[in-house]
Amino acid sequence: MIVGIDLGTTNSLIAVWESGTSRLIPNTLGEVLTPSCVSVDEDGTILVGRAARERLQTHPDRTAAVFKRYMGSDKTMRLGTREFRPEELSALILRSLKEDAEAALGHPVTEAIITVPAYFSDAQRKATRAAGQLAGLRVDRLLNEPTAAALAYGIHQRDSETKFLVFDLGGGTFDVSVLDLFEGVMEVRASAGDNMLGGEDFMRCLIDHFFAHNKLPASLKSDHYFMQRLAAQAETTKRALSDSATASIRLSHDNTDYALDIDEATLERICEGLLRRLRDPVERALRDANLRPAELDNVVLAGGATRMPMVRRLVARMFGRFPACDINPDEVVALGAAVQAGLKMRDAALDEVVMTDVAPYSLGIEVAMELRDSSFSSGHFDPIIERNTPVPVSRVKRYFPITERQKQLSLNVYQGEARMARDNIHLGCLKIALPGLARDDSGIDVRFTYDVNGLLQVTATIVKTQETHTLIIEGNPGMLTEAEIAARFIALSELKIHPRDRIEHRTLLASAERLYQQLRGGQREWFGTQILAFEQALETQDKRHIEPVRKQFETLLNDMERDSFTVPHSDPA
Amino acid sequence: MDNRHSFLQRLDLPDDADERSIRRAYARELKLIDQENDAAGFQSLREAYDVALVWSRHVAANDMGQPQATDATTVAPPEASAETAASTDATPEPTPHEPAIDHAIQGGEVFTEFMERCLGLSSQHPIIDTAVWERELRTGLADDRLVSILARDIYEHHVAHLLAEGWRPGHEALLVAAIKVFEWEQDRRRVLSLGQDGALLDAAIDQRTMFALQTETEQSQQRQLVLRLREPRAPGTRELLRHIDTLEIMIARFPDWLALIVSVPTAIHWRELNEQIPDWRRKLASIGRRKPAETSYEKQGSSFNWAWLVFWMIVGLARFASHSGGESGSPAAMSTAASADAVNLIDIGNQQLEQGKHSQAIATFTRAIERDPSNDMAYADRAMAYYWHQEYRQAKQDSEKAVSMNHANPVAYRARGLVAMHEGSHDDALADFTRSIQLDPDNAFTYYRRGLAYEANQQYELARGDAEKAIRLQPDIHPGAYALIARAHQVRGDKKKAAEQAEALLAAIPDRHYSYLTAAHIYDLLGRTDAALTTLDRGDKAAPDISLHMLRARLLPRADVAGRRAAIQKALSLNPREPEALDLRRSLEYDTGNYKAAINTATDALTDMPADSQERADPLMGRGIAYARLGQHAAAKADFTAARGVLGPNSATAANNICWYLAIREVEMQTALDNCNAALTLEPKHIQALDSKGFVLLRMGRYAESIAAYDAALALMPSLSHSQYGRGIAYRRIGKHKEAEADIKAALASDNSIATTFAGYGVKQ
């Protein structure tokens, strides 16, 4: 059985295709959203999910979050005594989800479809696949997030003909896709996006505003404890403003209380720049798909950040219509991934459905252009695969060296839309030795093959000799070789994961610890004793004893959270 | 054998598949393919699908005139099917949204406000600060009305269009600002979505990038020139010579970008001025010495003077001595005898030309070239001879050669201009004639020809000016000059002045039959048939000729059968085998219903003509319509096909001419339609064919299609009064009176006799 996984910046989900429908699988806490956080416990075991997120505030130097933004790079994060690459942190999340699925389904899970932002680069996609491998999952297929959302939405409409746009604003990335559904064929017409724009950025705006409003020194930003607390509050405030007119942040530091009362209109004002950035990919996707907003039948929202009223308002004004909100935007991508898993398993229920995707960015090489007066101008970008070409695709173009009897040629491969190569993203370089003939005889056929997963293969063939060279897009910063993956897999396996049956309790304790940190004076002391009592109950390992204590403790926690400052709930709405 | 296109075979579709069935077929086939493992299979299917879509749209566009014999059923309009599809599965109605037109208007409004603001700011001086432009552009973008994507698009389009119109003071800064604000450089394809303006901007931006990649020295040189080209004041010779190479390089490398950042007329003017600089002066610039001003010795007429030759020799030797190793100027020590011979021969050749002995003139000029290959006049004169001899390709070659040898030879430009006119390149002809006039300001013939070129460009006042100048210089230059003036007056509606030209012509050139023909034509143009006929009578006495009788036969009213017959008889008595007279007789027989006789006359005329000669076309067409009237449609069609065959089966113009021939006579309309469709298949943008098609469909009562065809023609040439009028009639026929009035009014405004013309075809309002 293949599962579908949404490996998100803020939250991750896992789902499965069963009995003709997609079903989300809950974690040990009974929730379908597992925060994408990893923490190393005091005893060295790994905590994933809500427990880790709580520890983001109490033990920020042993906890990591938002590491999806570093996928495809070499950046490591230090948790306790060990450095982790982003693939490894993601792998730990994936492993946890894998175990959740195995527990729910009752059999091993070895294969998964993982979603990636449509705009993820080659390196970022390979890192995602590597993360799957490190978690013991075979990832034969990567799926673009907006396409997944489209599948989840479209599967209910498979008999109709409709054109719609998916507006996917997640925690860290923004993707737009324009889709055309007819006769059960879901065709992506165009994709665009911004890899550095998500809900987290809106939060950062709020945090900056808090700093400005309270005239806090910039140096305070290096105080992890303070920042994590502030971040948690900002998150809750952001969500609160989706439902109520005003909300406030209250935080104390060094015995001073800081506060910020804010209403939705102000929030929109301070996030104006971000809202403007949302427009560009939408415009480009529509332009590339050759559609006007009026020709769309629907706009589908995906990603938790689309819950923000300001985003919904912007969407309504851009398109002149209210977006479709029937499917939970947090869940829609995972549900779609499960549909793709169903398609891959050739489930009979999905017989009449098929999906085609597109290459989201142009791919080409650096060339020199000959001008009318026979001079040359170098450094230009010549695309071989234009963006929004349906995939899989393979294109070949012939090039010639600049001078006669040229002995060597460097093929620099780029991805991007700019005219000059230097403004695009460099993917790799292939050096080819030429036979040293006249220009006209020294043609080279360069072939770009882009598969359904969005992975690129480049081959160059010297026409005269039919010698072929393949570019291995490896050894680039941000990418692991197969050997490195194998080695790290072994290393990761040796890490102890916190036992599943104790995660619920562990999470509760982590929340308690977090709350403890925020309390003061007598209240704090008293709460400390309550925690102790719970820990002692746990040590008895007697379920009948533990259960009622746990329930009581949980209720106490919730009460205290409500009473005191606007301390964030751990649950999303 | 399966004759279907390969892509249709792949999708298993019939020849008349519409877009819907293509999509369905693609969906069906796609489900059978494993995309992940059979990438090649997917790609070939996708290719077939993409091609099929393009093909079906192309077919749909051409399908307007297809006979209803094939199915109206399979070609179901997409909207209808979508409705039926939606009804099976209750998809929610899209929430009603604001109509798109509001957003477009708003986009335009914001742009207008942007313009007003900028005009206000630039009242004293043009805005040359990019920051100011940027600020104003962004102010527009931040406007609330531009949240809508459509409105933003319109706004961007307007800015692009403003830039694409060409440079105006300050627009070079606007270009930089716009590129920044709209990010045209970041995304190659963004600019291209702005249509034609976008394509121009795209090229300009590319070129701008290339500019920045040049060496610092090159850039700074070019920058100096650019600044200078924004000023209207003309350059001095020294300055010009200093910059001219840079200018040429810039034009070669950055033509589109240059057009956006400097004044194009100024740049052209610089080039023109440069052409006029004498070679010696040009070379002086590199030597750095001055010579006393000398009388221009480049003046080259067709009569050569021995004294000039001697002078040339001296100067030539002097030049040879004064520079060494420079670019090749005129060859140094040339044999005096040979050059004298050449000059002599040129003289003889010109005399032969004047006597109308074209072939001999060509031979003579060729000998002149052999004697002195460096004599550009020989080439120029030979070009003229070739032109009169109707050997246009050779004429073009020789004129190009002459121009390249000497930028100051008026005859060379004149010849090249004549060839350009023949090829229909009016603008090129204008440029060449203008240059020729610059070099030889008293040549009446060139003015006359340039007048014709202006007329072809519909620049009637300029045409008239030139014709008048030609006549002033030489009153007997050509009857055509008077006719040109008459036509120019007629277009303006001044019939009186137009008529005066006829008399002026006859007064100036009373002894050539051609004058009487032309004068008669002038009267005919003004609708004064009586005066035309009287003129022909006068011609009979003063300069009798067969052509006068034939014209009379044409001008006499249709009803005057006896008169026409008499005129034709007179013509045939002068030359029984005259093809035009025979054709007139056939036409008369056709008009009087004697179809058999018409067929016989036409057959008779054809016997004189060689098998593949183009002149067979007229009698074939004439015979064809006679057959049609007799109900012998097969024979008729055979003749029409044969006519098209001799005119050129791949000639869109020929097909169109046949279509038109039939259309105005209202014979074999289906064949007419087939022919203009054939013309459009050969050349989809053939304006005349589109106009003909509109007319045919109008006649066939297929008004909606007629309007569509006229729309297409007017899209290509919005000022085509013929199409406009026709469309107006079609609108009227379907009851759209407002549109009809608008069209008819516009057509009459540009050609006040269009209603009469159409009435002549039998189409009245």
Q: What is the pLDDT of residue A570?
A: 37
Distances (CA, A) of B2 to B6, B8, B9, B13, B451: 9, 10, 8, 12, 58
Residue with tokens 């798109």: B100
Q: What is the pLDDT of residue B549?
A: 92
Residues in chain A closer than 8 A to B86 (CB atoms) = 160-161
CB proximity B738 to A under 8 Å: no
Residues in chain B closer than 8 A to A384 (CB atoms) = none
Q: What is the mean pLDDT of residues B677-682?
A: 90
Residues in chain B closer than 8 A to A419 (CB atoms) = 185, 188, 205-206, 209
Using CA coordinates, name the residue in chain B closest to A379. Answer: B213
Predicted confidence band at B353 (pLDDT cuts at 50, 70, 90)?
confident
CB proximity B193 to A under 8 Å: yes
Using CA coordinates, name the residue in chain A closest to B49. Answer: A390
Cα–Cα distance for residue pair B126/A384, rounded to 1 Å? 43
Using CA coordinates, name the residue in chain B closest to A298. Answer: B94
From the CA of A313, how many Å to the nearest CA of chain B? 11
CA atoms within 13 A of residue A501's CA, in its CB half-sphere? 5
Cα–Cα distance for residue pair A180/A387, rounded to 1 Å? 17
Predicted confidence band at B63 (pLDDT cuts at 50, 70, 90)?
low
Q: What is the mean pLDDT of residues B576-594?
A: 88
Question: Does the ipTM surpass 0.95?
Answer: no
Q: What is the pLDDT of residue A564?
A: 56
Predicted confidence band at B82 (pLDDT cuts at 50, 70, 90)?
very low
Q: What is the mean pLDDT of residues B599-624?
A: 88
Write the residue in B39, B103, B187 that is nearest to A417 by C-beta.
Answer: B187
The better pLDDT of the pair B326, A168 is held by A168
Q: Please say if the pLDDT value at position B753 is more than 60.
A: yes
Cα–Cα distance for residue pair A249/A566, rounded to 1 Å? 7
CB proximity B35 to A under 8 Å: yes
- Contact, A438 vs A429, CB < 8 A? no
Helix (H, G, I), strand (E, B) or coil at A528: helix
Give the closest residue to B111 by CA, choosing from B174, B167, B173, B172. Answer: B174
From the CA of B203, how many Å to the nearest CA of chain A? 11
- Contact, B687 vs B710, CB < 8 A? no
Cα–Cα distance for residue pair B705/A323, rounded to 1 Å? 40
Chain B, 223 to 262: residues with Cβ < 8 Å from chain A are 249, 252-253
- Characterize the bridge pairing of strands A111-116 and A138-144: parallel
- Contact, B666 vs B699, CB < 8 A? yes
Token pair recorded at residue A521: 């004076």
Q: How many Cβ pairs closer than 8 A exist between chain A and B?
A: 129
Given 3-state DSSP classes, what are the helix, strand and coil percentages for chain A, each rounded to the nearest 5? 40, 30, 30
Give the closest residue to B732 by CA, choosing from B747, B717, B714. Answer: B747
Cα–Cα distance for residue pair A516/A529, rounded to 1 Å? 11
Q: Please say if the pLDDT value at position B297 is more than 70.
A: no
B178-192 pLDDT per residue, tens:
999 888 887 777 788
Q: What is the pLDDT of residue B288?
A: 45
Give the closest residue to B590 by CA, choosing from B573, B580, B604, B602. Answer: B602
User: Which element (helix H / strand E) includes A256?
Assistant: strand A256-263
> Could A419 and B42 be called an inter-chain contact, meaning their C-beta atoms sit closer than 8 Å?
no
Q: What is the pLDDT of residue B71?
A: 37
> Could A417 and B35 be called an inter-chain contact, meaning their C-beta atoms sit closer than 8 Å?
no
Token pair recorded at residue B124: 């004293």
Q: Please say if the pLDDT value at position B83 is more than 80.
A: no
A488-497 pLDDT per residue, tens:
888 888 888 8
Q: Which of A458-462, B77-81, B683-687 has the lowest mean pLDDT?
A: B77-81
Q: Please spell the DSSP secondary structure of B620-631, one letter per residue.
A: HHHHHHHHHHTT
Using CA coordinates, name the residue in chain A closest to B212. Answer: A377
Distances (CA, A) of A324 to A312, A316, B57, B63, B102: 10, 10, 33, 40, 24
Give the closest residue to A58 by CA, choosing from A478, A481, A515. Answer: A515
A128-173 pLDDT per residue, tens:
999 999 999 999 889 999 999 999 988 877 778 899 999 999 988 9
Residues in chain B closer than 8 A to A293 (CB atoms) = 100, 148-150
Chain B, 72 to 101: residues with Cβ < 8 Å from chain A are 82, 85-86, 88-89, 91, 94-95, 97-98, 100
From the CA of B103, how many Å to the nearest CA of chain A? 10
Write the residue in A282, A284, A419 that is nearest to B185 by C-beta.
Answer: A419
The better pLDDT of the pair B195, A171 is held by A171
Buried/exposed B293-323: b ≥16 CB within 10 Å, e otherwise: eeeeeeebebebeeeeeeeeeeebeebeeee
> Which of A162, A165, A191, A353 should be substituted to probe chain B, the one whose Cβ sees the most B Cβ atoms within 10 Å?
A162
Identify whether A499 is preceded by a cis peptide bond (ω within 30 of 0).
no
- Tens digit of pLDDT at every position of chain A (573 positions): 899 999 999 999 999 999 889 999 999 999 999 999 999 988 889 999 999 999 988 888 899 999 999 998 888 999 988 899 999 999 999 999 999 999 999 999 999 999 999 888 888 899 999 999 999 999 988 999 999 999 998 887 777 889 999 999 998 899 999 999 988 888 999 999 988 899 999 999 999 999 999 888 888 888 888 888 888 888 888 888 888 888 888 888 877 888 889 998 899 999 999 998 998 899 889 988 888 888 898 899 999 899 898 999 899 888 877 787 778 999 999 999 999 999 888 877 777 788 889 988 899 999 988 766 666 778 889 999 998 999 889 999 999 888 777 788 888 999 888 888 888 888 888 888 888 788 778 888 999 998 888 888 899 998 888 888 887 665 455 677 778 888 888 888 888 888 777 888 889 988 888 888 777 777 788 888 888 888 888 888 888 888 888 888 888 888 887 765 443 433 333
Cα–Cα distance for residue pair A41/A290, rounded to 1 Å? 53
Q: What is the pLDDT of residue B77?
A: 35
Helix (H, G, I), strand (E, B) or coil at A471: strand
Residues in chain A closer than 8 A to B147 (CB atoms) = 314, 317-318
What backbone phi and psi angles, to 5 degrees, belong to B162?
Answer: -55, -45
Residues in chain A closer than 8 A to B35 (CB atoms) = 356, 392, 452
> Could A284 and B190 be called an inter-chain contact, meaning their C-beta atoms sit closer than 8 Å?
yes
Q: Please say if the pLDDT value at position B99 is more than 60.
A: no
Exposed, middle or buried: residue A394 (CB in 10 Å: 0-12, 13-18, 19+)? middle
From the CA of B195, how many Å to the nearest CA of chain A? 12
Cα–Cα distance for residue pair B42/B31, rounded to 1 Å? 10
Write the residue in B42, B147, B183 that is nearest to A392 by C-beta.
Answer: B42
Write the residue in A351, A372, A380 that is nearest to B253 by C-beta.
Answer: A372
Average pLDDT over chain B, rounded to whole?
82
